[in-house]
Structure 1
């Protein structure tokens, strides 16, 4: 078993023997020196430090290391919707830097006002109230505090295996052990239930069991104020049906539970809609967005909620130093404008059709591929050692990741055996084809060993 095998949840492991081989055989001496220094001064943690390479630049769909090697980046921490270093975004940020780079507490600014107005204009019905924050974990924290204030109830329902951020309040509602181990008592009142995917077996796909579980908890715990969930699970690409989300929305209404949807990694066109909940004809009570909202340059996140919940001016729900950041606001406004002006939602839908066909061919060709799930430009390729029993091919998945890295394709592994592919929305068809070729060749190489 690979070291850290039991910790394979949100991403690939950075303490494995395969990682050691990568450093020994694929990294030059100058880079090794820098990696050693990086590991010396940055606190080690799963999914992060120690690192696998040192970057020099990024542009469009690519990242480039200090040796000049380019990787097509199908990871990007979900911030690269409009491509790295988008020139329009850079120009607008520079202009803002030269006039108002920061807005202190008690003052507002036109970029922040315009940004909030734009976000509200993208929402249905009365979802017009905004709070801005620099990161997604903080947005989740604000959403949880707001839900308590609105309902007067402190309990929250969430899914096992979910991810809502890395801060203490966010991991309290999250469901991944890699973030909760050693933490001791977490925020009380969290009721975790199995997610819909739990009920997908060889012969069934019964999301109704999850809905039954959800209603059971709602009915038995009369102090539940909120249900927080990822509309579509980003890390290993789990896509609930329209039926599931519409019924879950009805249950929240029936039991007066607020629905908090976490779309921090998947909003802004990743699913071929500006927001993933649009696929389901539902509305959240509170929406959390972030990551790509800053265009891959400025940290920016937000919560959006209903007008009727704007009644807590006597408390601070999200009093952050960079709350109304002019730079973050300009980055968000520009990112949304590029998505709209370049018709990226329509492009992503076409890319989805193209990739679906290409992955069907790969699935027939490669015995390791047990399942392919995707929407827009978010795809998960699940690797198995047996297509009938669906036993996870964890070791093979890690080997394939490093084979792809050698050939110039970067992505992350989720749940131990799912290759998660999440490229920039501006990626060209030629770049998609290159990535498919690298993946195909890497699968063939590992299967033939």
Structure 2
């Protein structure tokens, strides 16, 4: 099967996703995947290019609705991954109705023409951001949004350099991997975008600063003070994949440093905005405002690809530059999807719901950590949580094999999630999830840990 073809043996590739290194993968294919799905997986492997984190596929699905994906044999999985597009769940009825209606009206907007729904979406988005963020550009995907932000920052500051964190992820296109910090996206790529300075991130559980954010801030200021060609600081407000959450103090001081040195703060919230953290935008949890905000993924409601940047009125002075000259720039379909997502979040009071579920998750996952020695750290906010597995809590050695085995055990019972950094279980359910579904998912997770006899 394609699993053998795509086997990975380099430990440095344990960066963002699960890569199926253990026998659990083979057992999964032999015992849990139906013959019809095996056939489709084989055909998939013949057609599609193989790449890290996308292949080999786990199963073949035929439908998605609410909190679930369903495979072609009828088995349902609670999807706690969802590629971060399922804030309002899958196939939300209001979104389906709105897009169906839009298909009967306007499906495409030729360049240099506007349309009602694109303007409505932009107005809605601006109404939800701080008063200083009141100009929008739309684009079909997150990588392009980050690219627009970088171009704008160069134009505004007249400086070409950018500072970012090691291990950060900002997109998969060649320009954006040049400013990201994950090695797996730069392998064999040769020269990428020049002028990038990377610094260690403020990691609380492990890392060279050993949880001392003051050291991270000192490092940031040191670099900024030494290079006056840095015009932008590009960062994830919260690191999505393995859920690293800087403190409010860190972001307040980092914001001040950007202002002090004339650097634009670009916050990439493509996977974590739109209520994921209990606020519409993650930066609201830290009492700061970016100069440029990048959004995407869930903006399209899990149906349409849609992304955007939101920035300041004072930066709207570059009529002669094509900052985001994309074919589907003002897509009526994408705009209708995004407008509906924002409305659903408000109408269904999902922000309030997420904060309630955050309290539940915090208590439930802390209980698991006390119970199982395999859990070294639990961290999260809203409905974004990371469970870091270690073989020894003192040495913090990564429990990579165990993480994958637990992932497959959960899959057997109908819970799907992502493994990041090789040993972090990332839990990112739909914001529309019910309390019963959440309890069921945690029961599955508890059962998986119990099976591996890791009681503390």
Task: Name the TM-score class by shorter chain.
Answer: over 0.9
Instruction: Give 1:17 shift.
Output: 4.0
1:98 counterpart (104, 113, 125): 104
Secondary structure (helix, strand or coil) at the match of 2:217 reads helix
Q: What is aligned with 1:361?
A: 367
* Local SS of the residue matching 2:242: coil
Contact 1:133 1:322 in 2 (8 A): yes
Match of 2:195 among 189, 192, 208: 189
Counterpart of 1:220?
226
Asked if 1:124 corresponds to 2:148, the answer is no
Where 1:210 maps in the other structure, the secondary structure is: helix
From 244, 256, 260, the equivalent of 1:254 is 260
Unaligned stretches of 5+ residues in structure 1:
none
227-236 or 16-25: which moved more?
A: 16-25
- 1:5 Cα deviation (Å)? 3.6
Deviation at 1:198?
6.8
Give the conservation status (yes or no) of the 8 Å contact 1:71–1:410: yes
Distance 2:21 2:362 in 1: 33
Match of 1:169 among 171, 175, 187: 175
Q: Is the 2:243–2:426 contact (alpha carbons within 8 Å) kept by the matching residues of 1? A: yes
Query: What is the CA RMSD across the aligned residues, in angstroms?
Result: 1.6
Of 69, 75, 80, the residue aligned with 2:75 is: 69
From 42, 51, 54, the counterpart of 2:60: 54
Q: Aligned to 1:424, what secondary structure does the other structure show?
A: coil
- In the alignment, the residues of structure 1 paired with residue 126 and residue 154 of structure 2 have an alpha-carbon distance, to the nearest angstrom, of 23
Q: Deviations over 1:148-185 (max 9, x none)?
A: 11111110000000000000111111111111111000
The number of residue pairs the alignment matches comes to 449
The answer (yes or no) to whether the contact 1:369–1:382 under 8 Å persists in 2 is yes
TM-score (structure 2 length as normaliser): 0.96
Q: Distance in 2 between matches of 1:164 and 1:234?
A: 11
In structure 2, how many angstroms separate the alpha carbons of the residues matched to 1:352 and 1:23? 35
Equivalence for 1:373: 379
Query: Closer, same or farther in 2 for the Cα pair 1:36/1:2, shift >3 Å?
Result: closer
Which region of structure 1 is more displaced relative to structure 2, 387-396 or 65-74?
Answer: 387-396
Work out which of the residue numbers 88, 95, 105 in structure 2 matches 1:89: 95
Distance in structure 2 (CA, Å) of the matches to 1:96 and 1:277 = 32
SS of aligned partner of 1:381: strand
CA–CA distance in structure 2, aligned partners of residues 125 and 220 of structure 1: 33
Counterparts of 1:319 and 1:88, CA distance in 2: 30
Q: Which residue of 2 is the match for residue 395 of structure 1?
A: 401
Alignment partners' CA distance in 1, 2:28 and 2:12: 21
1:47 deviates by: 0.4
Question: Contact 1:2 / 1:17 at 8 angstroms: preserved in 2?
Answer: no
Within the candidate set 29, 35, 38, 2:41 is matched to: 35
What is residue 420 of structure 1 aligned with on the other side?
426
1:104 Cα shift?
Answer: 0.9
1:292-344 per-residue CA deviation (whole Å, 9 max, x = no partner) reads 00111100000000000001111111111111000111101100000001100
Output one character per residue of 1:28-58: Cα deviation in whole Å (capped at 9) or x when no partner: 1111111000010000000002211000101
> Which of 158, 163, 178 is the matching residue for 1:157?
163
- Cα displacement string for residues 183-236 of structure 1 (whole angstroms, at most 9, x for unaligned residues): 000100000000011785799631010111101110101100100000000000
2:19: which partner in 1?
13
2:403 match: secondary structure = helix
Are 1:143 and 2:149 counterparts?
Answer: yes
Contact 2:372 2:454 in 1 (8 A): no
Q: Is the 8 Å Cα contact of residues 196 and 207 (structure 1) preserved in structure 2? A: yes
Matched-pair contact (CA < 8 Å) for 2:82–2:429:
yes
Please list every run of at least 4 consecutive aligned residues from structure 1 whose deviation after the TM superposition is greater than 6 angstroms.
none
Instruction: Report the counterpart of residue 111 of structure 1 in structure 2.
Output: 117
CA contact (8 A) 1:92 1:330 kept: yes
The residue that corresponds to 1:328 in the other structure is 334
Is residue 162–residue 229 contact of structure 1 (8 Å, CA) maintained in 2? yes
Instruction: Give the Cα–Cα distance (whole angstroms) in 2 for the partners of residues 254 and 403 of structure 1.
Output: 50
| CA distance in structure 2 between the partners assigned to 1:123 and 1:102 by the alignment | 27
Aligned mates of 1:92, 1:52 — CA distance in 2:
32
Question: What secondary structure does 1:370 align onto?
Answer: strand
Matched, 1:382 2:378: no
Is residue 311 of structure 1 aligned with residue 307 of structure 2?
Answer: no
Aligned partners of 1:59, 1:154: CA distance in 2, in Å? 44
Indicate conservation of the 8 Å contact 1:4/1:16, yes or no: no
- Mapped to 2, the partners of 1:203 and 1:263 lie a distance apart of 24
* Distance 1:405-1:199 versus aligned 2 partners, 3 A rule: closer
Q: CA deviation at 1:448?
A: 6.2
1:433 and 1:446, CA in 2 relative to 1: closer, same or farther beyond 3 A?
Answer: same
